[in-house]
Chains A and B, each alone.
Chain A
């Protein structure tokens, strides 16, 4: 009998009693994407419970918003999701414009699409590179930052800032593009397109990466919906939802006339003339690999949208229009608008009492909802899988803590 137990490879130390242990991960941990603290209840290598502690980066953004005019709050939205500040500017601007019944010019609309989709590429590049770091590979991070740097250079040329842009603002954009910018942007896209193959070779199809992510942290569509998950996290679970198509008319009107398909597995891959790596046989819908892959698909999708936007913007001869006054009064009432930011659906809620300063502003953070699901995904996984799962959610703490 003893012989039999000794031979069983699953039982390694059958006479060693294991105890539950609380392991603290963070807040200063390289794989937690900012100051996130996770308390793991572990038994050996198995995690029985994960409890995220957030708030280390809380900067009272909503309270500050109650003391500034709508346009003055734009820089604070930059600092929420600082990896996709353009998209955050856009979300807040549209929410204010919704309440003001304001419509931007055609030229500003196409420029906004162009800028927002470039921002999405930049954000997904960081998401991809940092995910590689979480799983212990350094080089994809450098490859991703090499290309992101070029996007930041383009942004810098357009608005002067490299991280916190405040470029898109209520009523339009702060400035038009400098001459020659579109050509540089096209050059970047031409150069960037073949590079995506490198990313697929480095990560997507890498055997170790697939082993670390396929069938890990599987999230059912029902769970994702109940927790209010959104963006690549939701679409990675096979739910066909994208605010650019399903959102409110003020937002979807921005993408009127643009051809794109939501990046979700059942829709196939878009654009169709691009080469995509095969889905590994171990991967199941809703696992870490799929959440990662949706982002890679969206990079290609955004690239295609940028090309379309360049053509439309260049064809627009009308004026760009001026942003609203800094002290513009906002009509009394409330408006809530969700936009599709790279991390998910970012909602801005604004209540005005008729003056220039909002009575209440609220930022509904996508990463906040996406992170709330962690304890469900990590139940019963290995300690080494925790960074893989948290990394696949692609969270930004600035947006969660606000």
Chain B
């Protein structure tokens, strides 16, 4: 979404919600404050000029500490990033929202980071958030039914985290 003034409109409607943007990127993206994510999504769906009526994909990226050999060149601090790909059926444009979360809540390993659920904005987000929770370990507050979706319900850990270790044994099945 490269339309002029779009970002200004968003900032005027919800001051302080946008914490960064790159509109000249390959896929233009806007970075949103985690606490304002649900407000921004509701605005994009209901109030903005271009109605983003469809959610295509939610991705969690684990920006883990870089490999020691490459650490000198690394451009990031460890964090978890959520990427929302939205699509407007009427205007046929897309937009990317990014939200930065800590890898662990309060930097206590094992405590999942939290962000508001957008399942109330688009019902289609329900399964996507369940998948992100299952594989990447992000807790969506206000989600109607946040359970694992691909892994078994008693699975331990979140496999798409970079520091995930495959269990040695699962119900008598040997791993590794």
Binding site for B on A (CB under 8 A): 54-55, 58, 60, 62-63, 98-99, 222, 225-229, 239, 241, 246, 333-336, 338, 345, 347, 349, 351, 353, 359-360, 362, 364, 368-369, 372-373, 376, 401-402
Contact = CB atoms under 8 A, between A and B. Distances in A.
Interface in B61-98: 61-62, 66, 70, 74, 83, 85, 87, 89, 92, 96
B127 interface: yes
A68 B26 CA distance: 23
B10 interface: no
B48 interface: no
B54 A228 contact: yes
B159 A60 contact: yes
A364 B83 CA distance: 12
Give the 5 A-B CB pairs with smallest separation, nearest first: A364-B57, A227-B124, A55-B150, A228-B124, A372-B127
A96 B159 CA distance: 24
Contacts of B150: 54-55, 58, 401-402
Given A58-B151, A63-B160, A226-B124, A333 B26 contact: yes
Interface size class of B (residues with CB under 8 A): 20 to 34
Contacts of A347: 56-57, 85
A335 B89 contact: no
Contacts of A225: 53-54, 89
Nearest to A245: B92
Contacts of B57: 336, 347, 349, 362, 364
Contacts of A239: 89
A364 to B, nearest CB: 4
Contact of B61 (A226, A241, A345, A360): A360
B126 interface: yes
A273 B150 CA distance: 46
Interface in B119-176: 122-124, 126-127, 131, 135, 148-152, 159-160
A54 B127 CA distance: 11
B59 interface: yes
A55 B25 CA distance: 34
B130 to A, nearest CB: 10
30 contacts: A54-B149, A54-B150, A55-B152, A58-B151, A62-B135, A63-B159, A63-B160, A98-B26, A225-B54, A226-B122, A228-B54, A228-B56, A228-B122, A228-B124, A241-B89, A241-B92, A333-B25, A333-B26, A338-B56, A347-B56, A347-B57, A349-B57, A349-B59, A349-B85, A351-B61, A364-B57, A372-B124, A372-B126, A372-B127, A401-B150
A333 B26 CA distance: 8
Interface string B1-43: 0000000000000000000000001110000000000000000
Interface centre among B59, B122, B135 (most CB of A within 10 A): B59
A299 B122 CA distance: 32
